[in-house]
């Protein structure tokens, strides 16, 4: 990463890990929002866009502009992520998705980019796209529980419940506290009519949300 201030690494990691793990610590990034580092600014822009309000692009734009101004001293991975956020802020979601797919092919362990692709693809109702882009990262990031949670949800959305359950349970073996895997498995149990089992499962994993 291209960081002007090494002290930004902790909050930046909180964003990365918090975003892919569905944890509120993602917003800790705002503690270092004055750091002009390109990735810090791009991630701050994305955080504003997650508000999903009409004025979100206006709030994101100053951060995006600072990210773009600093992009020349960033890495190729950072530059592509900035371009994807710029497309999102500008309303060109298909271009954002295309850039995230490029990122998944070239930097498959950039799971922030992958998770953001899933966000866009889900909102567009493109479940096969979610599965396709997730599988691109599997060989390089198969050790990361959050990827298996993303794949579990993609399999479930594509109506492959057995594959979804297998991915969710693998994610949970790697890290029991993996809420996206919990979410996907709950979908599977509901769809298959396993209501008592699903209720017991959600009770069992509920304390992990407070851990």
- Give the mean pLDDT of the chain: 96
Is the pLDDT at 2 greater than 90? The verdict is: no
Is the pLDDT at 85 greater than 80? The verdict is: yes
Nearest Cα neighbor of 87 from 69, 105, 68 is: 68
Decide if 73 contacts 38 (C-beta within 8 A). yes
| Least-confidence region, from 72-81, 110-119, 161-170, 202-211 | 202-211
pLDDT band with cut points at 50, 70 and 90 for residue 197: very high
Return the percentage of the chain with pLDDT > 70, whole number.
99
pLDDT band with cut points at 50, 70 and 90 for residue 208: confident
In the DSSP assignment, the letter for residue 74 is: S
| pTM for the full predicted model | 0.94
Domain limits, the chain? 1-107
Is the pLDDT at 211 greater than 70? The verdict is: no
* Cα separation, 89 vs 69, whole angstroms: 16
* Cα separation, 154 vs 158, whole angstroms: 6
């Amino acid at each position: 990463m291209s960081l002007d201030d090494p002290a930004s690494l902790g909050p930046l990691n909180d964003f990365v890990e918090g975003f892919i793990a569905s944890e509120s610590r993602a917003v800790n990034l705002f503690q270092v929002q004055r750091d002009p580092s390109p990735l810090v600014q791009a991630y701050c822009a994305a955080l504003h866009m997650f508000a999903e309000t009409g004025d979100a692009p206006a709030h994101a734009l100053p951060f995006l502009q600072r990210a773009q101004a600093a992009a020349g001293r960033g890495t190729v991975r950072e530059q592509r992520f900035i371009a994807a956020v710029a497309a999102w802020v500008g309303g060109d979601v298909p271009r954002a998705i295309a850039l995230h797919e490029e990122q998944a092919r070239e930097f498959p362990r950039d799971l922030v980019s992958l998770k953001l692709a899933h966000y866009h693809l889900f909102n567009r109702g493109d479940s096969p796209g979610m599965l396709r882009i997730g599988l691109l990262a599997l060989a390089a990031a198969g050790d990361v529980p959050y990827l298996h949670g993303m794949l579990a949800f993609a399999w479930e959305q594509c109506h492959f419940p057995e594959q979804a359950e297998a991915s969710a349970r693998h994610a949970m073996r790697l890290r029991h506290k993996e809420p996206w895997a919990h979410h996907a498995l709950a979908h599977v149990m509901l769809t298959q009519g396993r209501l008592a089992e699903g209720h017991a499962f959600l009770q069992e994993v509920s304390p992990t949300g407070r851990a």
